[in-house]
Amino acid sequence: MAEIWGEEQLIADGFERVYVESEWYGEPLAGLADIDGKPHYFKMYGYDHSHEVGEYQVWPASEAVAELEREQWAIYARWYERQQAGEVGQESHPAHGGVDARYDELELLLAPHRLAPDGARRLVCELRFIAGVDVRYRVEGPDYWLRWRPSPR
């Protein structure tokens, strides 16, 4: 289980904000987070369920692209809140397509930016959950931050 910390301590310990989680399987597999204070895409490289330290490909995202990612994430987070409250069902998930026109438009606009370029850096990360946050997916991002370091390989 990951440790739980306040934002002030996370910052002091070198953890950075995660804005978007686009894939999760027991740990973050892909998304958008600050790395060295700037937005970067991250995607786990060769996930193999081995429980070894995960290595990620990371590459910068422009501020404009990051803003579009956060807009799409906000659509999802608001849906998640309604779904958790029992107001809507899984069939209304915006990623199904044809449910939210703006979500679909953003999906098309963002697709080319989500592909790791040749020469993407390889890093590993450590996860810590944010203390006092009881909502898994919030408009401002998921309930954890990441600390990045060079891959030992």
88-99 pLDDT, tens digit per residue, is 999 999 999 999
Percent of the chain whose predicted confidence (pLDDT) is above 70: 93
Q: How confident is the model at residue 43 (pLDDT cuts 50, 70, 90)?
A: very high
**Per-residue pLDDT at 109 exceeds 90:** yes
Long-range contacts of 21-30 (CB under 8 A, 24+ apart): 21/137, 21/141, 21/142, 22/114, 27/54, 27/127, 28/125, 28/127, 28/142, 28/144, 28/146, 30/114
pTM above 0.75, yes or no: yes
Residues 132-153: tens digit of each pLDDT: 888 889 999 999 999 999 988 7
At 58-87, the pLDDT tens digits run 999 999 999 999 999 999 999 999 999 999
